Amino acid sequence: MKNLSLKTLALGILALFAVTTISAQEEPAKKKNKFGLANRVGVGVGYGTEGLGFDVAIPLTQYVQVRAGLNIFPNIKFHENIDVEYVGEIPHAGEQTIEDKVRLDAKFGRTYADLKFDVYPFGNRGNFFVTAGLSFGGSDLMSIKGHSGKVEEYGPTIKDYGINIGDYNIPFDENGDIKGGVKVKK
């Protein structure tokens, strides 16, 4: 049975994304009105491990600004053919070795929005700030699915048969289908 390492897979995905950020905002005409309730708007575009991100920032005071954004981790799909082998007891047939080739279809992707508050402890005298907020959106980060004709043939007589990915075993159902993935809390 072929094992795919989740750590290797995650590091490969992270290597695809270089962290860059671009921000733009108009300089206020009068310095004394630089910080005031919604008197200016900042727009940001970023590309990194969270995917492609867009955000808009509006100051509330000289110490706090609110930021709303959208992050899109684009759908990345790939396919892998895996040799699987089951060695075990099958009722009315005894000890058996079953070999099959399974095509796994995997997909990475997630879109979520966030609302953040940037707190500038030194006000307009510095660029240091602390951010607090929340993110909400889809919970699926990665999904895997495939099918085995051999498992479908033997059905529920094969117990605990699955594909190992790292330290995890994703079992086939009685129809020979395999479904799994990685989720995060919404």
Per-residue model confidence (pLDDT) at position 2 = 46
Per-residue model confidence (pLDDT) at position 161 = 76
Give me the torsion for CA of 72, 103, 15, 184, rounded to 10°.
Answer: 50
Give me the torsion for CA of 29, 31, 33, 39, rounded to 10°.
Answer: 50
Q: What is the residue-level pLDDT of the chain in tens, covering all 186 positions?
A: 444 555 565 555 555 554 444 555 555 555 555 556 777 888 999 998 788 999 999 988 888 999 999 999 888 898 988 888 777 777 777 787 878 888 999 998 888 899 999 999 988 667 889 999 998 887 888 888 999 888 787 766 666 677 877 787 788 887 888 898 888 776
Per-residue model confidence (pLDDT) at position 166 = 76
Per-residue model confidence (pLDDT) at position 21 = 46
Q: Which residues have CB under 8 Å from 83's CB, separation 6+?
A: 1, 2, 99, 100, 101
CA distances (Å), origin 143, targets 78, 173, 184, 186: 11, 16, 12, 16
Give me the torsion for CA of 184, 116, 46, 121, rounded to 10°.
Answer: -130
Farthest-apart Cα atoms in the chain, separation: 87
What is the 8-class DSSP label of residue 28? P
